[in-house]
A and B are shown apart, each in its own frame.
Chain A
């Protein structure tokens, strides 16, 4: 038997790096969040101001707006991805020639850098060079300008997210569907259940854990989303696509308001934890207790 000391030695480099670049920044940001600090202002000192920053954030309309925009984005994007992903996963359950080839193509967007996805969609939707606004105008007479229309910018980001992440939902749902036992379906058909009843009463409850896991992962991703939005719209027009991540990036660095910026960071981290925890408690825990 080897001694535990060797185990700790092997873990030490990992723990050290994660401490200096994961834990210490976290402690530091909490510390700074209780201070007023702008190193480039008239008074560059760090001054303790208690909960003032936290009081300010509750009435900060720009911040609250960014939370609202993020919630809307998550709702529309993740809902569409689940519906589309389910349809595509069901389509993959049948056998047809070239299945693995199509599956490879469908997985392709997942490997792309978010910043590249942003750039691809910028090239497709920017007025005057983009192909989408051009044909929307020529065929339907609709003018689309992501630089001036909040609706167009927001919709484009939702569609871009659907394009980028539906494959992940499809593949997770395929994994769930493949592992389903055939018996309940055969039994239901014998009992004369129709397709809709089978979906709502058998398929959906059985794949629910996979759906919840997917929502959970996409939710965390959506709170992290910055790169592609920054590339595509820069948060605009106005504040229509300024998600919380973009808000931090855009507000803190040009203004060098480090104290208040830290407070926003702490709150966003807190919101992430709460969102994930709520999802877990409301959707996963009741099922576990029923089984147990």
Chain B
């Protein structure tokens, strides 16, 4: 291979990184501009930031309740998927059940299906079938936690499988010889050993649930609305509150950016169903 000056690489990547970062930077610029300045000449350099939009979004009770819903739904869903995914992986890894590999593959097909296809049947089932008396599953936090399992639970199973498979079976067997119960082996021996894999799964499922829009937009109307659906409410035919829209976007983006550093190496494996190791 021909030797190349490192300067060329640095210049090339500086250009690429600028192109990557600029849209995110522009989002921030819009969020700290007062409405009257939006339509003047666009300034690339930020001067005299205006924090009014942030105060407005944070002070809005409705948006705060959306934020709380987002936190509850994504946290509940991530914990549920990680724990159930772990149990499922333990079962798939340690038992000789017939058809278990077919089950393993079948789970991922739930994630591959376009969510738009399931909007209508889920909407109908949740308004008419999944009901107890007057209570309906539609527009509830628990409903959204369960619906998000359709894409996050298969993901959890597929990311956790290699981790659980990697824990030697001899450890379980040794514990059984010592008289430990199955429950004790699962929760006190295998679970702690899988901690790194479980953490990655928890974080990525959390981000996927936090980022979800389409299902939340269709299956909630007031009580369980999430931050991402709040975003689209500021785009109306009569006019868009650009500053508020940008600010909500920043609020939605921040948690994802925080956890990004923690799981950066695992993102590719996550997004390709484990087909590619990052």
Contacts and interface: CB of A to CB of B under 8 A. Distances in A.
B9 interface: yes
A32 B124 contact: yes
Interface stretch (B47-55, B59-67, B80-88): B80-88
Interface bracket on B: 35 or more
Interface in B60-106: 84-85, 87-88, 90-92, 94-97, 100, 103
A124 B21 CA distance: 13
B198 to A, nearest CB: 16
A99 B17 CA distance: 11
Nearest to B253: A116
Nearest to B87: A10
Contacts of A258: 120, 124
Contacts of B96: 4
A244 B38 CA distance: 34
Interface stretch (A51-59, A73-81, A100-108): A100-108
A71 interface: no
Contacts of A202: none
B114 A245 contact: yes
Interface in B223-254: 228, 231-232, 235, 242, 245-246, 249, 252-253
Contacts of A268: 114, 116-117
Interface in B23-70: 23-24, 26-27, 30, 38-39, 41-42, 44
A269 B95 contact: no
Contacts of A94: 1, 4, 9
Given A21-B122, A134-B42, A115 B232 contact: yes
Contacts of B276: 171-172, 175-176, 210, 213
A283 interface: no
Given A113-B211, A131-B42, A262 B30 contact: no
Contacts of B193: none
A262 B271 CA distance: 28
A102 B146 contact: no
Contact of B275 (A6, A20, A91, A213): A213
A82 B243 CA distance: 35
Contacts of A223: 114
B6 interface: yes
Given A18-B150, A261-B120, A110 B271 contact: yes
The 3 closest A-B pairs by CB, nearest first: A7-B95, A113-B211, A96-B9
27 contacts: A2-B176, A10-B186, A13-B87, A26-B121, A32-B121, A32-B124, A108-B24, A114-B211, A115-B231, A116-B211, A116-B249, A116-B252, A120-B24, A123-B30, A130-B42, A134-B41, A163-B23, A176-B276, A224-B115, A245-B114, A246-B116, A248-B120, A258-B120, A262-B120, A265-B117, A268-B116, A272-B114
Given A17-B149, A135-B42, 11 more contacts: A2-B95, A18-B150, A24-B121, A102-B13, A113-B212, A116-B211, A131-B42, A231-B231, A245-B115, A258-B120, A265-B119
